[in-house]
């Protein structure tokens, strides 16, 4: 496999990819019974002797064309999971479904963009301007633009818990895993069932996206749906409601935590989701 730029004379650019992966070699298709060579493909006859394939990255900063393909594919899959299509029945729209955002806690005040009723609000106005131990103001009267480079920057870099932010990012996948486990247990308690009985009656499905906030900390957007025992093709029991799912998500969000062990130069700490993690009833695309 090559990772260098396309050789001179190579004209193919798969899907408009800006950084295609270059493959060199051959593939033999052999009959498993007789051992006969059925077909052979080699890159020798390709322009430049290599086969370019799309990098398929999800990051627009790395390759906008591939990231757009991924975004469009993801949209269609999530839409199908909400309203049906691509083998999923339209009745899935009647299944309890909630959109939730799981946010990291604060590691110190940062510059933010806020608006209300299309009016841009001041960043962090304070009637009594206080200062931190380092002498920096803990207020900001500015109305930042969406592309202001100050957004996400700490009001006091010396006070900001950079170590906590880095540790949280590293442990965020484990926090999510524990959240999914705790959610199923919370659902069982809300429904008055054992964990085994819950698994026999419902299946919990997820669609999750991880994003970096302007402050550089990971948060998750997730669509959580309750299906019948066989998945989206079966209806959940009558007791499985949006209200019950919402209560279970809130309970799981508040109770999940992770003890990050002490390491060289780092003290042990407890990590958890922010108290202002949000819940909202999912809306079908286009509605």
At CA 92, angle to CA 89 and CA 93, rounded to 5? 120
Cα 25 to Cα 23: distance, rounded to the nearest angstrom: 7
Per the CB < 8 A criterion, the answer to whether 126 and 134 are in contact is no
CA distances from 132 to 43, 44, 111 (A): 63, 66, 15
How distant is the alpha carbon of residue 217 from its chain centre?
12
Cα 112 to Cα 106: distance, rounded to the nearest angstrom: 13
| Per-residue model confidence (pLDDT) at position 12 | 57
In this structure, the strands spanning 269-272 and 119-121 are unpaired
Cα 3 to Cα 26: distance, rounded to the nearest angstrom: 17
Q: Which domains does the chain have, with CATH numbers?
A: 14-53 (no CATH), 95-106+161-281 (3.30.70), 112-158 (no CATH)
| Per-residue model confidence (pLDDT) at position 265 | 72
Per the CB < 8 A criterion, the answer to whether 60 and 67 are in contact is yes
- pLDDT by residue for the chain (287 residues), tens only, comes to 444 444 444 445 677 899 899 999 999 999 999 999 999 999 998 888 999 999 999 888 899 999 999 999 989 999 999 999 989 999 999 999 999 999 999 999 999 999 999 899 999 988 777 888 998 988 999 999 999 999 999 999 999 999 999 999 999 999 999 999 999 999 999 999 999 999 999 999 999 999 999 999 999 999 999 999 999 999 999 999 999 999 999 999 999 999 987 777 777 889 999 987 777 655 444 43
Q: Is 123 helix (H, G, I), strand (E, B) or coil?
A: coil
Cα 66 to Cα 258: distance, rounded to the nearest angstrom: 35
Axis-axis angle for helices 242-255, 162-191 (nearest 10): 140
């Amino acid at each position: 496999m090559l990772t260098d730029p396309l050789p001179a004379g190579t004209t193919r650019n798969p899907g408009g990819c800006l950084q295609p992966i270059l493959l060199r070699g051959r593939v033999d298709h052999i009959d498993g019974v007789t051992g006969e060579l059925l077909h052979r493909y080699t890159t020798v006859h390709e322009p430049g002797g290599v086969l370019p394939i799309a990098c398929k990255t999800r990051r627009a900063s790395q390759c906008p064309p591939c990231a757009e393909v991924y975004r469009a594919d993801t949209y269609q899959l999530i839409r199908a999971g909400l309203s049906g299509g691509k083998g999923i029945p339209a009745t899935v729209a009647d299944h309890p479904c909630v959109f939730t955002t799981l946010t990291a806690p604060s590691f110190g005040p940062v510059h933010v963009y806020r608006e209300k009723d299309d009016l841009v609000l001041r960043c962090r106005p304070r009637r009594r301007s206080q200062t931190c131990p380092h002498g920096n103001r803990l207020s900001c009267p500015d109305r930042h633009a969406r592309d202001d480079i100050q957004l996400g920057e700490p009001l006091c870099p010396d006070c900001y818990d950079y170590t906590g932010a880095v540790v949280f990012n590293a442990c965020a996948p484990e926090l999510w895993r524990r959240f999914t486990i705790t959610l199923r247990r919370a659902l069982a308690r809300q429904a008055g069932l054992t964990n085994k009985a819950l698994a026999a009656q419902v299946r919990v499905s997820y669609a999750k996206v991880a994003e970096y906030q302007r402050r550089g900390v990971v948060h998750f957007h997730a669509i959580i749906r309750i299906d019948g025992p066989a998945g989206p093709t079966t209806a959940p029991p009558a007791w499985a409601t949006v209200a019950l799912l919402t209560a279970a998500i809130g309970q799981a969000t508040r109770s999940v935590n992770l003890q990050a062990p002490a390491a060289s130069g780092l003290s042990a700490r407890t990590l958890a989701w922010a108290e202002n993690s949000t819940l909202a009833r999912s809306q079908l695309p286009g509605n």
